[in-house]
Structure 1
Amino acid sequence: MSTPRADDKKFMKIAYEEAKKGYDEGGIPAEISALQTAGRLPASSYKNTTMYTTLSPCSMCTGAILLYKISRVVIGENRTFVGSEDWLGVKGVEFVVMDDEECRKLMERFIEERPGDWGEDIGEEGEER
């Protein structure tokens, strides 16, 4: 794990605002959405890119990060879910965990209010209320 860079906090704030929109809209994980929105680009286009994600990436999102050879990932928080950070590290991807309170609170709210969606997102069974 690496230390944050000067502009990481600014870009994490943008990722958080996007996550709030995604919370209301629902849909696919933000990492996958970002890659989809970028369009069909060769993996080499992402070589020196940083991906900002409010939560530790799940196995599917980590696979996409590795597939597209994204070299750095900044994670908002990993207290609610420790994804595949170890896999990123083993594969040589630099990652930073910001331990951002806003990101954590948003995920805690999501887990509480939408356990079925949460379970689906992390590949586990979740209870609907």
Structure 2
Amino acid sequence: MDDTKGLAIAFEEAQASYDEGGIPIGAALISADGKLLGRGHNMRVQLGSAIHHGETSALFNSGRLPAKAYKGSTMYTTLSPCDMCTGACLLYGISRVVIGENQNFLGGEAYLKARGVEVVVVGDEGCKALMDRFIAEKPELWNEDIGVEERVYSKEGKTAA
């Protein structure tokens, strides 16, 4: 499967999450021989789950696979993977990660590369536009997802009004 098709599946998942009121990050896991192993999207809002990100949802939806199934596989993701999703890709020996965009969030790309994973950043405008729209509409959910404290504190440590 070429990168355009793999990223298109991930984008469909991101759009589905957005349409459900969730964080629009989608992923697709494709085997070395081009078969779709799993696809998924961020479900933090929908399931009230801290661990159902796009990449982990794609892995979950892949089901139980032998280790050899991941050899030579590619994870397509609409946004640069966070540390947890980076770790999941490394844990399962995923060989390649194709990223739709990394302007809204720069995740563990350097760590993936340092561990021998091929990383391709496409710079897809559709992925960026969808994430831009979500961040503008729901900044509090975005900040929650990336672990940014929403409250502003004064020098004395009290919550600012």
Higher strand proportion (structure 1 or 2): 2
User: Greater relative contact order (Cα 8 A, min sep 6): structure 1 or 2?
Assistant: 1
Gaps of 5+ in 1: 1-5
Matching of residues 15-94 of structure 1 within 5 Å: 15-25=10-20, 26=22, 27=43, 28-94=52-118
**Structure of larger gyration radius:** 2
2:3 to 4, 8, 12: 8
Output the TM-score relative to the length of structure 1.
Answer: 0.87
Higher mean C-alpha displacement, 57-66 vs 21-30: 21-30
After the TM superposition, which parts of structure 1 deviate over 4 Å for at least 4 consecutive aligned residues?
A: none
Higher helix proportion (structure 1 or 2): 1
Task: Give percent identity, aligned residues only.
Answer: 61
Distance in 1 between residues matched to 2:65 and 2:150, nearest whole Å: 35
Across the two proteins, how many residue pairs are aligned to each other? Answer: 122
Distance in 1 between residues matched to 2:133 and 2:11, nearest whole Å: 14
2:106 pairs with 1:111: no
**Match of 2:149, SS?**
coil
Gaps of 5+ in 2: 23-42, 44-51, 152-161
- The residue identity in structure 2 corresponding to 1:106 is L
Q: CA deviation at 1:119?
A: 1.9
Residues 117 and 42 (structure 1 numbering): CA distance in 2 closer, same or farther, change over 3 Å?
farther
